[in-house]
Structure 1
Amino acid sequence: MTGLNQWLRLIVLFLVCFTLAAYGWFILGGAKTEYIVTPKNSKYKIIDDSIQNGATTATLGIRNSDVLLECNLINQAKWPFCEIAISLTDSVEKGIDLSSYHSVGLDIDYTSPLNGERVRVYLRNFDPAYANTNDSLSLKFNAIEYSPGIDAGLQVFPLHSFQVLSWWIAENNIPVDKSNRQFDNISIIEIATGSYVKESYYAIKLNRIVFYGEWITESSLVRLLLLLWVITAVIIMIIERIILHKKIKNTEEHSLRLRDANRQLYNKSLKFEHLACTDPLTRIRNRHTVTEWLKEITIQTQRNQIPFSMIFIDLDYFKSVNDTYGHSFGDEVLIKFAATVERLIRRSDVFARWGGEEFVIFCPETNMGTAVEIAEIIRETIATKDWGFDREFNLTCSLGVAELVDETSEDLINRVDLALLKAKKMGRNRIEISWEHQQLK
């Protein structure tokens, strides 16, 4: 045991020194990397409004340290402009992966008739899911606009500040999962005159473009160091287990007895938790159960930019069911309704009784269109179902649907509640949709 403890102290000392040295190396910038765009590793050309039958004229001067674009904009094309197009590779399909870089530095001098006028910077990404080599406009526009001024020096922008142009998303019918900024295959960089120009002389002098990143991120380094500690600890535990086999065996027997006792306690706690979280009539989740969960899932969904939708259901004229047939019959209707809906929804959906004859379905990773399809299946099934009662009985429901945007869970609930209210006002047995912060009347 004494020898083992001595070795353990030496190993721990080594790990501490190595961890401090590795993290210090990272803090001092040892992992930083740069990608500098120059005329030696890329090709430059002019793009202007001549493709729109414009009359703009432009010249491009390329030197070792900078590139100068001069153009005279003529108000003949619908959108007069000129720009520097930088091809990073010979093939549009095979660009450069810049996804590991976190920011870009731009040193641009911009001469224009107006002080503070902005230039547009596009990082064009190729992805075969939406782009093709025969259409240059099909490459994704990751864009920023800023005012470079003259002699302002290098200005650094985080890559997450770039936004995909909305007109490009709409024109190319881009799906939601491909509409976010993307830097994994950048083949072209474009620097263009501003959105609002007039007939005049313009000059864009590109002094420097540099991308900043780290060949290993801080989180990856921490994970590697943690893995080293874990592997070392596992090896030490194995050695110690061999040496102390008999003692461990006795401990395991004792642990088994404790584990059995804990399992019994755990099973009992699950039973009590199930009773507390389940609606006693319909045997589905109750409102109290999903309230806290909804707040957490809302935050996580917005943080990860994942779609999330909600369906609010109200049984039409249910009070008259209770008044006509009695509350016992009404309870049986609620039970059969809940069982029917549970069979219609997906495993990932969360179904709960909100109160009385109101029910709610939360649909993670689901956009508005899919949620409306689910709601329509439920509405039609309920309206046409043979409920199997010994008396003639029909049931319909009204539904409100909304997709989460930049809002709180309470705001989402209020919107979908307003959509449900509109469905009821419009005659019931129908679906109404709430788009973002639209106020339904």
Structure 2
Amino acid sequence: MTGLNKWLRSIVLFLVCFTIAAYGWFILGGAKKEYIVTPKNSEYKIIDDSAQNGATTATLDIRKHGALLECNIVNKAKWPFCEIAISLTDSIEEGIDLSSYHSVGIDIDYTSPIEGERVRVYLRNFDSNYANVDDPVSLKFNAIEYSPGVDVGLQIFPLRTFQVLSWWIAENNISVEKSSRQFDNISIIEIATGSYVKESYYAIRLNRLVFYGDWISESILVKSLLLLWVVTAVILIIIERFILYNKMKNTEERSQRLRDANKLLYNKSLKFEHLACTDPLTRIRNRHSIDEWLEEITIQTRLNNLPFSMIFIDIDHFKTVNDTYGHSFGDEVLIKFAATVETLIRRSDVFARWGGEEFVIFCPETNMSAAVEIAEAIQASIANKAWNFDREFNLTCSFGIAELVDETCEDLIRRADLALLKAKKMGRNRIEITWEHQQLK
């Protein structure tokens, strides 16, 4: 996870820097935009009351950034007026979308006979739901009235302060949902004399007309940055889950490989343990396999006051067999001898090859008398068995028996070995026993 944490720190640092930079850019005005209306991108013309049989006369002087409208109002028409009409586009149907702008700045010097007289500013919006190309009055009137004065400079008005004229709503039978202000398709901007004028000289000098907006609003910027954080967090969580899943999968696969390897090693160890504890020729236990067991069983036997006997067996004249018939035949004798004895002992008895032609039987919970009976049965079976060897051969064995008393397992083995030695000295194919602390010679 160290690599992921390093990437995570880098990504968080980047997001923090990006967020600070983006919001700082917004605060410092980087997102602001302007749309300046000038004679270069618009068409200026005069509209007055002549269409209503009025007598007002007007002239329009186009300047570099604006225009000067001078008119002599004659009180002949019902509503005498004059205005500057600014067409933003060549087609009345295809205006300019000003809905992303929040304010309009207007710099007008207004000369009139009445101090503080107002001018009217209309932002005319075309919408096919209510407007008609052949009827200019059908374009929506988004309007404000204010007193510009002279040399006041640029005055800024939020677009939300514009109101739709009620007479236009009533005259065009506009539904409620279409009666609010609308700036998504402004075709014409009109700057007109006030609502109540006198016969006199009027002048409207338009010095500057500019719309202010933001390429992106503060709320959208904040939401976008928040969304960026959330999306990044989700992606990082998904990546972390994916990496964790792969790690868990790899760990599980590695664990499975280890389990398989351990199982293989365990099986091999069992095999090796079996080989280590089994005589490779006769396939019975070897001397090494019973050393620890013998020590434990003798201790338990003494503690529980139970009988325990040991039978030492030696195949008679086995060296002569090897010398006469060869070691291969000798091995065959050992194998068949061990297999035969194994069928004659009890399930509780422990039978092992002690070395060479010597074998041992340990008899738990067995006293001397019972051990002698076992030895006699083995002796008779071995002596009378038809061995089916490929040559004439008589097989007999000698026995030395000892019963455990208050002694160690080494002492027990030594006494049984002495009894076996006596049986061999006494002519072989016989059973000899040794009692407690008896010294056999």
* Common fold by TM > 0.5: yes
* CA displacement, residues 254-273 of structure 1 (integer Å, 9 cap, x when unaligned): xxxxxxxxxxxxxxxxxxxx
Corresponding residue number in structure 2 for 1:81:
81
Whether the aligned pair in 2 keeps the contact of 1:105 and 1:210 (CA below 8 Å) is yes
Query: Does 1:63 find its partner at 2:63?
Result: yes
| Secondary structure in structure 2 of the residue aligned to 1:102 | strand
Corresponding residue number in structure 2 for 1:207:
207
- The structural deviation recorded for 1:213 is 0.5
Amino acid at match of 1:123: L
Q: Please, which runs of 5 or more residues in structure 1 have no aligned partner?
A: 250-441
- The structural deviation recorded for 1:63 is 1.6
* CA displacement, residues 15-45 of structure 1 (integer Å, 9 cap, x when unaligned): 1011101111111111111000000100111
- Counterpart CA distance in 2 for 1:32 and 1:248 is 51
| Secondary structure in structure 1 of the residue aligned to 2:143 | strand
Corresponding residue number in structure 2 for 1:46:
46
* CA displacement, residues 399-425 of structure 1 (integer Å, 9 cap, x when unaligned): xxxxxxxxxxxxxxxxxxxxxxxxxxx
Query: Does 1:176 find its partner at 2:162?
Result: no
| Secondary structure in structure 2 of the residue aligned to 1:89 | coil
- Counterpart CA distance in 1 for 2:245 and 2:34 is 53
Corresponding residue number in structure 2 for 1:16:
16
- The structural deviation recorded for 1:6 is 2.4
Query: Does 1:100 find its partner at 2:100?
Result: yes
Aligned counterparts, 1:31-430, within 5 A: 31-245=31-245
- Counterpart CA distance in 2 for 1:144 and 1:162 is 5
- The structural deviation recorded for 1:247 is 11
- The structural deviation recorded for 1:196 is 0.9
- Counterpart CA distance in 1 for 2:55 and 2:4 is 84
| Secondary structure in structure 2 of the residue aligned to 1:213 | strand
Task: Pick which of 220-229 and 43-52 moved more.
Answer: 220-229
* CA displacement, residues 68-87 of structure 1 (integer Å, 9 cap, x when unaligned): 11111111111110000000
* CA displacement, residues 33-73 of structure 1 (integer Å, 9 cap, x when unaligned): 10000001001111111111111111111121331111111
| Secondary structure in structure 2 of the residue aligned to 1:244 | helix
- Counterpart CA distance in 2 for 1:160 and 1:58 is 32
Amino acid at match of 2:238: I
- Counterpart CA distance in 2 for 1:38 and 1:14 is 43
| Secondary structure in structure 1 of the residue aligned to 2:90 | coil
- Counterpart CA distance in 1 for 2:229 and 2:208 is 43
CA RMSD in angstroms comes to: 1.6
Corresponding residue number in structure 2 for 1:400:
none
Task: Pick which of 213-222 and 236-245 moved more.
Answer: 236-245
Amino acid at match of 2:171: E
Corresponding residue number in structure 1 for 2:427:
none
Whether the aligned pair in 2 keeps the contact of 1:44 and 1:86 (CA below 8 Å) is yes
Amino acid at match of 2:121: V
Whether the aligned pair in 2 keeps the contact of 1:241 and 1:248 (CA below 8 Å) is no
Amino acid at match of 1:17: C
| Secondary structure in structure 2 of the residue aligned to 1:45 | strand
Whether the aligned pair in 2 keeps the contact of 1:105 and 1:156 (CA below 8 Å) is yes
- 1:71 to 1:33, Cα distance in 2 relative to 1, 3 A: same
Corresponding residue number in structure 2 for 1:300:
none
- 1:246 to 1:37, Cα distance in 2 relative to 1, 3 A: closer
Corresponding residue number in structure 2 for 1:286:
none
TM-score w.r.t. length of structure 2: 0.55
- Counterpart CA distance in 2 for 1:246 and 1:36 is 59
- The structural deviation recorded for 1:105 is 0.2
Amino acid at match of 1:59: T
Whether the aligned pair in 2 keeps the contact of 1:119 and 1:192 (CA below 8 Å) is yes
Task: Pick which of 59-68 and 207-216 moved more.
Answer: 59-68
- Counterpart CA distance in 2 for 1:174 and 1:208 is 33
- The structural deviation recorded for 1:224 is 2.0
TM-score w.r.t. length of structure 1: 0.55
Give me the identity figure in percent.
81
| Secondary structure in structure 1 of the residue aligned to 2:113 | coil
- The structural deviation recorded for 1:220 is 1.8
- Counterpart CA distance in 2 for 1:151 and 1:246 is 74
| Secondary structure in structure 2 of the residue aligned to 1:109 | strand
- Counterpart CA distance in 1 for 2:248 and 2:46 is 75
* CA displacement, residues 128-177 of structure 1 (integer Å, 9 cap, x when unaligned): 00001000000000000000000000000000000000000000000111
* CA displacement, residues 193-231 of structure 1 (integer Å, 9 cap, x when unaligned): 001111111010000100000111112222221222122
* CA displacement, residues 68-116 of structure 1 (integer Å, 9 cap, x when unaligned): 1111111111111000000000000000000000000000000000110
- Counterpart CA distance in 1 for 2:219 and 2:116 is 39
- Counterpart CA distance in 2 for 1:200 and 1:150 is 17
Q: Please, which runs of 5 or more residues in structure 2 have no aligned partner?
A: 250-441
- Counterpart CA distance in 2 for 1:243 and 1:89 is 58
Whether the aligned pair in 2 keeps the contact of 1:118 and 1:145 (CA below 8 Å) is yes
- The structural deviation recorded for 1:245 is 3.5
Amino acid at match of 2:41: N
- Counterpart CA distance in 2 for 1:88 and 1:4 is 56
Aligned residues: 249
- Counterpart CA distance in 2 for 1:247 and 1:66 is 71
Larger Rg computed on CA atoms: 2
- Counterpart CA distance in 2 for 1:218 and 1:248 is 44
- Counterpart CA distance in 2 for 1:16 and 1:183 is 37
- Counterpart CA distance in 2 for 1:43 and 1:16 is 48
- 1:173 to 1:247, Cα distance in 2 relative to 1, 3 A: farther
| Secondary structure in structure 1 of the residue aligned to 2:168 | helix
- Counterpart CA distance in 1 for 2:161 and 2:245 is 58
Task: Pick which of 60-69 and 114-123 moved more.
Answer: 60-69
Amino acid at match of 1:100: S
| Secondary structure in structure 1 of the residue aligned to 2:240 | helix
* CA displacement, residues 371-429 of structure 1 (integer Å, 9 cap, x when unaligned): xxxxxxxxxxxxxxxxxxxxxxxxxxxxxxxxxxxxxxxxxxxxxxxxxxxxxxxxxxx
| Secondary structure in structure 2 of the residue aligned to 1:99 | coil
Amino acid at match of 1:159: L
Amino acid at match of 1:109: D
| Secondary structure in structure 1 of the residue aligned to 2:221 | helix
